Amino acid sequence: MLSKRRWTTTGAGAAAAVLVLVTGWQASAADERTPERGLYQVRGADTAAARTDVDRAGVDVLGVRDGGMEVVASPEQAAGLRGQGLTLTLQGDWDALLAARGGGLSRTAAADFPAGDEGYHTYAEMVAALRETASAHPEIAAVSSIGSSHEGRDIPIIKISDNVASDEDEPEVLFTCNMHAREHLTTEMCLRIVERFTAGYGSDAGVTAAVDAKEIWVVPSQNPDGAEFDIAGGEYAGWRKNRQPNSDGSVGTDTNRNFDYKWGCCGGSSTSPSSETYRGPSAASAPEVRAVQDFVGSRVVGGTQQIKGHIDFHTFSELVLWPFGHTYDTVTDGMTAEEYARFESVGEEMAASNGYTGQQSSALYVTDGSISDWMWGEHKILSYCFEMYPAGGGIDGFYPPDEQIVPQTTRNDGAVDILIANAT
Ligand SMILES: [Zn+2]
């Protein structure tokens, strides 16, 4: 459940508390003004095992960079981490920061982005953009659906290829975005791919060759319910999960812990429904996950998976991550040394193109039930997770101003081309 600017203190009002915050006040865990949801910089978790321990404490890990972690934690969680010898620096009250970032005085209507961020696509705008693209480029673009969200929203997919209406014998590539609700920049990333590979067809030689030789699939939002909830009322909610109700009254499954490959195997997800990394009651219990899995399964033609390459875009930390996430091992059941070397080679090439850092997913911390573990484990698809801009940044990590859409999505043009070239 979200709490809106509630503090553990009964004496100070929210406005006074925010004032103290912006003047550089710092608090210890024992301070009565410690926010119910505090944004902290964590230092001292210098190994993947230590960061896994932080994640398992149940905090909301926002980003990881250069060994430092940004997390949202309750006073109890913060005290617990300090008790493990970690250094936590309070950056602010997460709920107050969200409220301030949401536009403050100038509110737009519900279900639109807060004032100043209108350059981001709402769900309705995203759907309209796909339809307009398909009608403007009917020979190479077609929109369909992979299923419905919990609340019944369609999850559209666009196919881009020459002779788009026929299922040609060409290697296929999949790009997926906006699995986590608040990671709105990723929706724009998928729309950038759609725009580039349609508008550039016939004029850009590289684009034209790719569209002629491959079949490109793009899913701009895997979590439309969460994305709409996150912007409802013109104020950002900081929401991550989907919107499925849980048995304890909380809401949401972390769909990137819900995929049906070694689901819940390795302490890389939570069994607590209120956790930000709740894995769900069973593998693929989230309809959004089933939609993606069913679509990918449908691309097995004549016993052969047609999709050869995949990127799932997230924010933030500027990372290129590859499987597996469920184990620290590079070579393990389902991953040979040669296969791992290929992941690393293509991953590092993409990272060199966009200035991100490339690494195995578990080098951050252990995760299980992730989309990329499933894509490779179940379907042998060369699958990466990108953590986009910025490298760090607290609240702005999820809500960069819309002026960043063009520079941060075009920044990945080269990486997208590398992935497509390696999808063979
Ligand atoms: Zn994410």
Distance of CA 195 from the midpoint of ligand 1 (Å) = 23
Task: Quote the mean pLDDT of the chain.
Answer: 90
Tokens of 48: 């993947």
Q: Where are the domains of the chain?
A: 14-101, 123-421
Helix H or strand E segment including 157? strand 154-160
- According to the model, what pLDDT value does residue 128 have? 97
Contact, 210 vs 197, CB < 8 A?
yes
CATH number of 14-101: 3.30.70
- According to the model, what pLDDT value does residue 310 have? 98
- Beta-carbon-side half-sphere exposure of residue 21 (alpha carbons within 13 Å): 25
Measured distance CA(337)–CA(344) in Å, rounded: 10
Contact, 372 vs 383, CB < 8 A?
yes
Q: Which residues are catalytic?
A: 387
Tokens of 242: 């989907």
- According to the model, what pLDDT value does residue 13 have? 38
Distance of CA 288 from the midpoint of ligand 1 (Å) = 14
Question: What SS3 state is found at 74?
Answer: coil
For residue 272, the tally of other CB atoms under 10 A from its CB is 14
Distance of CA 23 from the midpoint of ligand 1 (Å) = 31
Give me the sign of the Cα torsion angle 30, 32, 37, 39: negative
* Runs of H (alpha helix) within 28-114: 48-56, 75-83, 94-101
Question: What SS3 state is found at 373?
Answer: helix
- According to the model, what pLDDT value does residue 102 have? 60
Give me the sign of the Cα torsion angle 38, 41, 45, 47: positive
- According to the model, what pLDDT value does residue 75 have? 94
Residues 6+ apart with CB under 8 A from 188: 120, 121, 405, 409
Distance of CA 387 from the midpoint of ligand 1 (Å) = 7
Tokens of 270: 């939570």
- What single letter denotes the amino acid at residue 272? S
- According to the model, what pLDDT value does residue 99 have? 80
- According to the model, what pLDDT value does residue 191 have? 98
Note if the bond before 324 is cis, omega within 30 degrees.
Answer: yes
Distance of CA 71 from the midpoint of ligand 1 (Å) = 14
Distance of CA 94 from the midpoint of ligand 1 (Å) = 18
Helix H or strand E segment including 257? none
Distance of CA 224 from the midpoint of ligand 1 (Å) = 14
Q: What is the pLDDT of residues 125-147, one digit of tens each?
A: 999 999 999 999 999 999 999 99
Q: What is the pLDDT of residues 34-45, one digit of tens each?
A: 899 999 999 999
Distance of CA 315 from the midpoint of ligand 1 (Å) = 6
Distance of CA 317 from the midpoint of ligand 1 (Å) = 10
* Beta-carbon neighbours within 5 Å of ion ligand 1: 180, 183, 314
Strands 141-148 and 154-160: antiparallel
- According to the model, what pLDDT value does residue 2 have? 35
CATH number of 123-421: 3.40.630.10
Distance of CA 17 from the midpoint of ligand 1 (Å) = 30
Work out the burial of residue 384: count CB atoms within 10 Å of its CB; fewer than 13 is exposed, 13-18 middle, 19 or more buried. Answer: buried
- According to the model, what pLDDT value does residue 12 have? 37
Helices (H) and strands (E) in the chain, counts: 14, 14
- Beta-carbon-side half-sphere exposure of residue 308 (alpha carbons within 13 Å): 15
Residues of the chain with pLDDT under 70: 1-32, 102-111
Distance of CA 49 from the midpoint of ligand 1 (Å) = 20
Measured distance CA(142)–CA(289) in Å, rounded: 22
- According to the model, what pLDDT value does residue 132 have? 98
